[in-house]
Amino acid sequence: MSTNDSSVLHIPDVSKAIQIVRGQKVLMDFDLAALYGVPVKVLLQSVHRNLPRFPPDFMFRLTKEEWSLLRSQIGDG
């Protein structure tokens, strides 16, 4: 992967990607995938294959209401 790839989330931009959900600071799967320069599907497959390596609270799914609210806050809806 080229370091000039515009799909990669650059380190200074990481703080802008942090969202507050359920009172916790989180990074969305699509932002983590961009940080690592991989498709979201590949990131999720890797996590699921290595689930024992992660703490129980490492990830959770948003409810439809949470996703809708978050989308409106980040200007994607």
What does the angle CA 33 – CA 38 – CA 39 come to, to the nearest 5 degrees? Answer: 80
Q: Is the pTM of this model over 0.85?
A: no
Which residue intervals of the chain are DSSP H helices? 14-17, 29-36, 40-49, 64-74
Per residue in 7-40, pLDDT (tens digit) is: 565 666 788 888 888 998 999 999 899 888 899 9
Q: How far apart are CA 57 and CA 53, in angstroms?
A: 12
Residue 29's contacts (CB-CB under 8 Å, 6 or more residues apart) are: 40, 43, 44, 59
Residue 44: pLDDT band with limits 50, 70, 90:
very high
The domain locations on the chain are 11-74
Query: For 35-62, what is the mean pLDDT?
Result: 91
